[in-house]
Amino acid sequence: MTGDATTTRAAGSGPTDPDGVVEVSTDHEGAVVTLTINRPAKLNALTLPLLADLAAAVTAAEESHTARVLVIRTAGDRAFSVGADIKHFSTMSPVQMHREWLRRGHRAYEVIEQSILPTVAVIDGPAFGGGLELALACDLRLVTTTARLGLPEVGLGTIPGWGGATRLPRLIGAARASDLVLTRRQLTGAESVDWGICTRLAEPDGLDAALADLIDQLLGGAPHAQAVAKQLIALAGSDVPPYLGESLGGALTTTSQDFAEGVAAFTEKRSPTFRGE
């Protein structure tokens, strides 16, 4: 990582906001945007205002036209996130749960999932319930060996409500998803990689180096091609014939200046300079 990082707070958040704040920092001349959920006193438990700020920050990063990679982290050393703040939804009526809690949470995670930017969740502590579901909405998940992951909702008499029961089966299959959801089983960081939930594993003291390496690899790709590739990957498992999406997507990328630059750099045996154009 370079030393040009700057930090701001997401709109609507204040330094003493009891619902938590989203801190926004930039690096690599704005190419890397890190969103840090800061509510460590509550183990980064998620509230609707916090998720709204998170979604707004993702949108702002896309609209900056300088962001290339989006990183989602949390504050403190006790937990990535223990999930939804139970106190915020335990007194809601069924209608409120449907109209407010579940729908607005889904909306926030869909903003992350559908972002044109490659997204990375950095899991350096327990990630339970909505915390794990937040990570599942990202493209890549970097996890430490000391982390724990699980979906404990059935133990509270409810279900994973922000994508855990739908994104997880697509990722690891119905049988393993059932094992996690129905038994409340917790996985170690290493197990989560073995199961195909997380994509990279690091020791706690090597986490920043592992993240920097991953970011460098992502920055080495052409932004437009990455955005199209994300859309094609999202089609996996659908009824759209693979050749159709890949044919259209491949043809589209060849019209970009980045494609011309990539071919020229390969021919000239140098590293390409992509501009997302």
207-263 pLDDT, tens digit per residue, is 999 999 999 999 999 998 999 889 888 877 665 555 555 555 565 666 677 767 776
In a shared domain, residues 179 and 245? no
Please give the pLDDT value at position 56.
Answer: 96
Residue 29 belongs to domain spanning: 6-219
Please state which of the ranges 3-7, 54-58, 80-84, 185-189 shows the lowest mean pLDDT.
Answer: 3-7
> Do residue 177 and residue 242 come from a single domain?
no
One-letter amino acid at 122 equals V
Lowest mean pLDDT across 74-78, 92-96, 170-174, 243-247 = 243-247
Question: CA 158, CA 160: separation in Å to the nearest integer?
Answer: 7
Give the residue among 71, 4, 6 at the shortest CA–CA distance from 37. Answer: 71
If asked whether residues 169 and 227 sit together in one domain, one would say no
Higher pLDDT, 86 or 54: 54
- Specify the pairing of strand 148-150 against strand 127-128: parallel
Backbone torsion region of residue 30, taken as left when φ is above 0, otherwise alpha when ψ lies between -120 and 50, otherwise beta: left
Check whether residue 41 and residue 164 sit in a common domain.
yes
In a domain, 275, yes or no: no
CB atoms within 10 A of CB 128: 24
Q: Please report whether residue 273 resides in a domain.
A: no
pLDDT digits (tens, 9 = 90+) for 121-136: 999 999 999 999 999 9
- The Cα-based distances of 186 to 37, 162, 175, 190 in angstroms read 23, 18, 15, 12
Cβ atoms within 10 Å of 73's Cβ, excluding its own: 21
Say if residue 62 is in the same domain as residue 196: yes
Same domain for 261 and 179:
no
Catalytic residues: 133, 153
Kindly state whether residues 145 and 245 are assigned to the same domain. no
pLDDT of res. 3: 44
Same domain assignment for residues 201 and 258: no
26 band by pLDDT with thresholds 50, 70 and 90: very high
Flag whether 233 is in a domain.
yes
- Residues 180 and 237 placed together within one structural domain of the fold: no
Instruction: Round to whole Å and give the CA distance between 32 and 2.
Output: 10
Answer whether residue 245 is part of any domain: yes
